Amino acid sequence: MPPTGLQGDLFGGGASRPRAATSEPQVAASKKPPPSPPDADGTSLLGPMEGAPPPPPKPERVVLSVGELTRQLKQTLESRFARVIVRGEVTGFRGPNARGHWYFALKDSGASIDAKVWASMAARLRFALRDGMEVLAESSVDLYEPQGRYSLIVNRLEPVGEGALALAFEQLKERLAQEGLIGPGRVRPPRPLPFLPQRIGVVTSRTGAALQDFLRVLHSRNPRQSVLVADARVQGEGSAVEVARAIQRLSRTDVDVIVVTRGGGSVEDLWTFNEELVARAIFASPVPVVSAIGHEIDFTIADFVADLRSPTPSAAAERLAPVLADLELTLATQAGRLRRAMERRVLELREEQGQLASLLEDPRRAINHQRLHLSEQVESMMRVLRPSVRGHREGLRALTERLQRARPQARLGEQRAHLLKLAMRLSEAVRSGVAERQGALASARLVLERASPAAQVSREHARLAAQRSRLLALQQGALADAQRRFQRLEGRLDAMSPLKVMSRGYSVVFRQRDGAVVRTGADVQVGERLGLKLASNGAKTLGGCEEIEATVTAVKGPVDC
């Protein structure tokens, strides 16, 4: 490594130190006449002068590595430019990266330099940076050794021509107006304040003068007014979070209105109420919010978002607390007016009631008249219905007799008796045929016995077997014909049976009081109980049918079925 004293020669700062030791010889030599110019071969034309000092030794050549040179440049630049204020135009800004750092460049008409803003610094900026904005950057010079590039590390940033707070105020105001939180296009219009709130919530510093002014004016107007105070810092780092949290806590209580207040001060003192967090907390509050911040000339973002802006804390107290004595006087006056109005109205209603009572007819007289009329109508109806009922009963009796004669059970019994007769006749015919065949067989047997030829016997045996087969066939055929005829008769009888008709969804309706079958609507009366026979589950008789009980609710006239 070269001696450190010689490395200073690269920057001019340490070059005087090696020459300091030889300053006197150089001065002395300067008084000597200049040497003659050398020849082409490097030797002086005059030759060495007698008594002249020897020439100084040539300095040793210093060779630096890239890293050593970069480190020396880094030390020099960072120590020389530890704090500089640079003015320039922002270019190449693309917003924060994944870690929240900002990277951009500052340029003017002749040069450009990279700049960096770390995430911790970017979070404290109160305005939005954009390309083309002219800014003042208080920063330090940093050299990145691996790439040999230098840049500015910004520690403070403010726009040129307008204050950072004023720019941040306008930018936030514009953004909230676009979202509908403030301005003529706000999503939710200002909510009306209660005339006489039961409890008032106050967000402010417990030790501030604004709270004392508010309470003094409030209780001087209405000593019974209830107040719930949420203590929060109203200026300084982290105060916006406390104010927003206090608004959220009060909105979850039973307060009817929330007052956000503090005393006057500079723009920096009131900046807590220009924070976006406080503005969104006010907008999200479910109860109305009154902003009473600073003096009458002070305006904050909270004033635009709140449902009502009050110029001072005292004015907010006057707006929320009517004078108790005035309220009591107004209440007493209104109560007297209401009492006199009610008395007049009661007298008017009593007079109206008397007039209506004189016009009202006795309802008992009308009821008696209606009863007499109803009795006459009933007697007239009975005189008309009695002959009709008598005729219907006679017709029903005749129909019942006809039904008894045409009962399916009687017809079925007759058919069964006839079938038994046929079966008996068939059996007698079969027996007579068999007897005849047996007689013939006996005669043949006698003839055979008389003739007694073997061939004749064989023929007769064969003939006998044939006759026997024929007889059996005739017997079976006659029996099959009789069974088929019986089945046909049984099918015809079953088709004529009312149970067959009922099995297709029809039913037989009869009155329960006398068991008569209902054939027309005139056979029943309203309120009469009926029975409905349904042939289901293969019922063979009316006694095996299902029965449904019903009550007649209305009888309609004849219509086309």
State the CATH number of the domain containing residue 212.
Answer: 3.40.50.261
203 and 177 belong to one structural domain = yes
| The most confident of 157-161, 264-268, 482-486, 522-526, by mean pLDDT | 482-486
282 and 174 belong to one structural domain = yes
pLDDT at residue 131 greater than cutoff 80:
no
Write the CA distances from 94 to 62, 105, 485, integer angstroms.
44, 11, 109
Higher pLDDT, 254 or 363: 254
Would you say residue 463 lies in a domain?
no
Q: CB-based contacts of 81: which residues, under 8 Å, 6+ apart?
A: 140, 141
pLDDT at residue 170 greater than cutoff 70:
yes
Average pLDDT on 389-402 reads: 87
Would you say residue 354 lies in a domain?
no
Mean pLDDT of the chain: 80
Asked whether the beta carbons of 72 and 2 are under 8 A apart, the reply is: no
pLDDT at residue 316 greater than cutoff 70:
yes
Average pLDDT on 397-402 reads: 86
193 and 102 belong to one structural domain = no
pLDDT at residue 262 greater than cutoff 70:
yes
Would you say residue 408 lies in a domain?
no
- Residue 96's φ and ψ, nearest 5 degrees, are -70, 150
Task: Give the sheet arrangement for strand 546-551, strand by strand.
Answer: 507-511, 529-534, 546-551
Higher pLDDT, 36 or 347: 347
173 and 313 belong to one structural domain = yes
pLDDT tens by residue, 154-165: 888 877 755 566
For 25-77, give the DSSP string: HHHHHHHSPPPPPB-TTS-BSS-PPTTPPPPPPPPPPP---HHHHHHHHHHHH
71 and 215 belong to one structural domain = no
Q: How many domains does the chain have?
A: 3
What band does 46 get if pLDDT is binned at 50, 70 and 90? Answer: very low
Would you say residue 328 lies in a domain?
no
138 and 178 belong to one structural domain = no
Q: Which of 48-52, 154-158, 321-325, 357-361 has the lowest mean pLDDT?
A: 48-52
212 and 311 belong to one structural domain = yes
Query: pLDDT value at position 21?
Result: 37
Report angle CA 409, 411, 413 to the nearest 5 degrees: 70
Handedness of CA 482, 486, 487, 489 (dihedral sign): positive
Handedness of CA 173, 175, 180, 183 (dihedral sign): positive
State the CATH number of the domain containing residue 145.
Answer: 2.40.50.140
Handedness of CA 89, 92, 97, 103 (dihedral sign): negative
- Residue 370's φ and ψ, nearest 5 degrees, are -65, -35
Of all residues in the chain, the percent with pLDDT exceeding 90 is 7
Would you say residue 169 lies in a domain?
yes
pLDDT at residue 504 greater than cutoff 80:
no
DSSP three-state, residue 116: strand
Would you say residue 260 lies in a domain?
yes
155 and 174 belong to one structural domain = no
What band does 3 get if pLDDT is binned at 50, 70 and 90? Answer: very low
Among residues 137, 160, 183, which one ends one of the domains?
160
219 and 285 belong to one structural domain = yes
Higher pLDDT, 29 or 510: 510
pLDDT at residue 7 greater than cutoff 50:
no
- Number of residues that this document lists for the chain: 561
pLDDT at residue 259 greater than cutoff 90:
yes
262 and 118 belong to one structural domain = no
- Domain region containing 510: 506-552
Among residues 322, 344, 379, which one ends one of the domains?
322
Would you say residue 378 lies in a domain?
no
C-alpha to C-alpha distance for 170 and 418, rounded to whole angstroms: 118
95 and 181 belong to one structural domain = no
Query: pLDDT value at position 52?
Result: 59
pLDDT tens by residue, 444-493: 888 877 776 676 668 888 889 999 898 999 989 899 999 989 988 888 88
Asked whether the beta carbons of 517 and 403 are under 8 A apart, the reply is: yes
Would you say residue 410 lies in a domain?
no
| The most confident of 88-92, 157-161, 276-280, by mean pLDDT | 276-280
Higher pLDDT, 58 or 28: 58
Spatial CA neighbour of 539 closest among 495, 503, 515: 503
Among residues 91, 125, 160, which one ends one of the domains?
160
Average pLDDT on 510-534 reads: 85
Query: pLDDT value at position 413?
Result: 80
Tokens standing for residue 424:
């008996």
Tokens standing for residue 527:
């309120």
151 and 188 belong to one structural domain = no
pLDDT at residue 141 greater than cutoff 70:
yes
